[in-house]
Structure 1
Amino acid sequence: MTAQMLAAVLAAVAIGTVLQRVSGTGVGLVVAPTLAVLLGPVQGILATNIITSMSGALITLYVWKYVDWRRYAVLAPAAVIGAVPGALVVRAVPASWLQISIGGLVLLTLAITYLVRTLPHLEGPAATGLAGTAGGFFNTTAGIAAPAMVVYALVSRWDQRAFAATMNPVFMTMGLVSFLVKVAFGATGQEGLPPWWMLLAVAATVVVATFGGGLVARRVSPGMARALALSLAGAGAVVAIVRGTLALAG
């Protein structure tokens, strides 16, 4: 990896970490397209899974007291259920078509949340488990679980501060599970793993960016943070579609 490539990765990690500290989403949405371009769609998403797991673990240390651990206890096991079919899909379906399909599904879901004036109020273990399963599937196939989580937060009327904090251990778990399941099922190899020195640089970047994101978060209202999370979810879906389309065209 060249110095220019490392700089691009660390910049994406820094921006994503600040956004995640403020809105609850960001690292995967920014890092996934960057690494997909640098490393290719399959190995890029594998590296993204590792980085989102690292960033989620580190940010959790800062926001521990705001995490809704009861919801996490449902979301995390459900993510494992979604990761298994996700790994099988990654192994069987061309990455380009996978990205286009997932991006389109996410955009459709977000469009429904905008167009329907009164969203259903869905709470309880079933709704939480479904969201976790969808997030695990999306995270394994595309490295982007945020859209599923944002939609769930909307329909469950989840408090923004608790949502933003809880997403960090959730993404930590999803990233780790997605990585392990894909390697176990042979959906990807270990040759594309980031070097250890890059992971150290990423960890240092996350620590600094988390502190900066905390300063920004104090000046952002819950409504603005929610709007930012929705915008990032939509942007992530568009990026997935563009990536898939470019791969087909190229």
Structure 2
Amino acid sequence: MLFSMPVDVAPLLLIVAAAAVILGTVLQRVSGMGVGLVVAPTLALLLGPVAGVLLTNLTTTVSAVLIGITLRHDIDWQRYVRLAPLIVVGSVPGALLVGAADRSWLEVIIGTALIGTLLMTALVRIPPVSGAVPAAMAGTAGGFLNTAVGVAAPAMLVYAQATNWQQRSFAATLQPIFFTMGLTSVITKVGLGAAPISGLPPLPVIGLVVAMVPIGLLVGGLVARRVTAEAGRKVAVVVVTAGALLLLARGVGGMAGVF
């Protein structure tokens, strides 16, 4: 089975994982988000929902640091301060969910959450809001989603649409937000025993996956000159929808005893 690779990882699966990280990093450099969207369903399919999302959290943390350095002049630190404190609040129930649910249920939850949040951002008209309460709700929802399913971008996108957040500032400020979410998710899940480090693939595999981030960043810098942020988001949505549907199908199949 693809999700059980504790020691030996097939070269083809490594190539798929590396390609997903590069694509996700390129999209994140172009539009501000993409690593979690692309990498989470891919690694969950390859490594299982617990180890896959945990490795996604690690990858997101690294990518956010590197991209954040590149976009540092456009970061809105006041918005970051409003969003960041509630990330921990949302992360704890996300970690408890990961620790309580079995593999098939987690795959169903991840697939459904990804598809549901993407549909919400695409189909639901978001009324304009402002103030501390929407920021607190976005931070809490983002922390929960990032810890449970490895993807917080849809929650941030809803908040950005509701507050009319300018794209340049939004893309830059997402990086310290994603860094905080990724680090918090790893600490919370490992600390609560929901996702033990021992469940990850060997260190060389982790190193290879994370090493794709700077490669994606270099490619993304070139692509960003020619591709709009909107086009980047559309590609991310297509990729994550395909991955989420596959993950959902496998989870349902596992619950039914097919896989």
TM-score (normalised: structure 1): 0.87
Q: Tell me the amino acid that sits aligned with residue 27 of structure 1.
A: V
Among candidates 20, 35, 40, match of residue 27 of structure 1: 35
Which residue of structure 1 lines up, in the alignment, with residue 108 of structure 2? 100
- Is the 1:146–1:233 Cα contact (8 Å) retained in structure 2? no
1:140 aligns with 2:147: yes
Structure 1 portions without partners, runs of 5+? none
The structure-2 alpha-carbon separation of the partners of 1:245 and 1:146, relative to structure 1 and needing over 3 Å to count, comes to: farther
**In the alignment, which residue of structure 2 is the partner of 1:75?**
83
Shift of 1:171: 1.5
CA shift for structure 1 position 105: 4.7
Corresponding position of 1:159: 166
Residue 44 of structure 1: how far off its partner (Å): 1.5
Query: How much does 1:102 deviate?
Result: 4.9
The change in CA–CA distance for 1:227 and 1:35 in structure 2 (over 3 A counts) is closer
Q: Which letter does structure 2 place at the counterpart of 1:197?
A: P
Please give the alpha-carbon distance, in whole angstroms, between the structure 2 residues aligned to 1:235 and 1:156.
Answer: 29
Shift in Å at residue 55 of structure 1? 1.3
The answer to whether the 8 A contact 1:26-1:232 is kept is no
What is the distance in 2 between the residues matched to 1:191 and 1:103? Answer: 24
For 1:39, the aligned partner's letter is: L
CA deviation map 1:11-62 (0-9, x unaligned): 1111110011111221112222222222222111111111111111121111
Distance verdict in 2 for CA 1:100–1:200, change over 3 Å: closer
Contact 1:161/1:222 (8 A) holds in 2: no
Shift of residue 109 of structure 1?
Answer: 4.6
Q: Distance in 1 between matches of 2:241 and 2:42?
A: 17
Return closer, same or farther for 1:91/1:224 CA change in 2, 3 Å cut-off. Answer: same
1:222 Cα deviation (Å)?
4.6
2:249 maps to 1:220: no
Of the three residues 126, 148, 152, the one matched with 2:133 is: 126
Residue in structure 1 matched with residue 157 of structure 2 by the alignment: 150
How far apart in 1 are the matches of 2:22 and 2:153?
A: 17
Counterpart residue number, 2:67: 59
Quick one: structure 1 residues 165 and 150, their matched pair in 2 at CA, closer, same or farther if it must change by over 3 Å?
same
Residues 73 and 245 (structure 1), Cα distance of their counterparts in 2 relative to 1, 3 Å cut: same
Structure 2 gap segments, 5+ residues each = 1-8
TM-score normalised over the length of structure 2: 0.84
Counterpart CA distance in 1 for 2:132 and 2:247 is: 29
Alpha carbons of 1:106 and 1:201: their partners in 2 closer, same or farther (altered >3 Å)? closer
Moved more, 28-37 or 139-148: 28-37
Counterpart of 2:98 in structure 1 is 90
Letter in 2 for 1:163: F
Moved more, 100-109 or 22-31: 100-109
Task: Give the one of 205, 208, 212 matched to 1:205.
Answer: 212
- Give the RMSD, CA atoms, in angstroms: 2.5
- Kindly indicate whether the alpha-carbon contact (under 8 Å) linking 2:121 and 2:154 is maintained by their aligned counterparts in 1: no
Aligned to 1:17: 25
List per-residue Cα deviations over 1:50-108 (Å, max 9, x = no partner).
11111111211111111222222222221111010111111112243244345435544
What is the alpha-carbon distance in structure 1 between the residues aligned to residue 90 and residue 174 of structure 2?
17
Correspondence for 1:36: 44
- In structure 1, the residue matched to 2:58 is 50
SS of the residue corresponding to residue 121 of structure 1 reads coil
Seen in structure 2, the aligned counterparts of structure 1 residues 22 and 11 have a Cα distance that, compared at 3 Å, is same
Structure 1 Cα separation of the partners of residues 240 and 154 of structure 2: 5
Identity across the alignment (%): 49
**Deviation larger for 134-143 or 100-109:** 100-109
Q: What is the distance in 1 between the residues matched to 2:135 and 2:246?
A: 26
217 and 243 in structure 1: CA distance in 2 versus 1, 3 angstrom threshold: farther
